[in-house]
Amino acid sequence: MALALGLATAGLLVAAAASGMALTQPLGQLWFNLDSGSLNLAQATIERAIWPPLWQFGVFPLLQQPGLYVGLGALALALVFLLLARRRRGRDRKFR
């Protein structure tokens, strides 16, 4: 799940950079400028089908952060998960 969100954020930032937008703008503003319909759909889906506080206290504050920082944070989180998975895999091999 974290990897999918990281990839989605990276794709959004690449599209924003290709469009000439400043990546220091809030992530939500970048998303709105690129495709406001999908932003509205994501909000409606999360609030109606998943859990309303997830949008209010999880996604919305993230969308208010500068896009570049969110992208770097997602990349760092993905690297941590990959390193932990690699470390765990290495331990499993030693005991076999």
- Residue 67, domain member (yes or no): yes
- Residue 37, domain member (yes or no): yes
What is the per-residue pLDDT across 33-44, written as a single tens digit (0 to 9) for each?
Answer: 999 999 999 999
- Residue 56, domain member (yes or no): yes
- Residue 68, domain member (yes or no): yes
- pLDDT for the residue numbered 13: 93
Contacts of 95 (CB under 8 A, 6+ apart): none
Domain count, the chain: 1
- pLDDT for the residue numbered 37: 97
What's the mean pLDDT in 21-32? 96
pTM, entire model? 0.81
User: Whole domain around residue 49: which residue ranges?
Assistant: 10-17+26-84
- pLDDT for the residue numbered 91: 65
- Residue 89, domain member (yes or no): no
- Residue 36, domain member (yes or no): yes
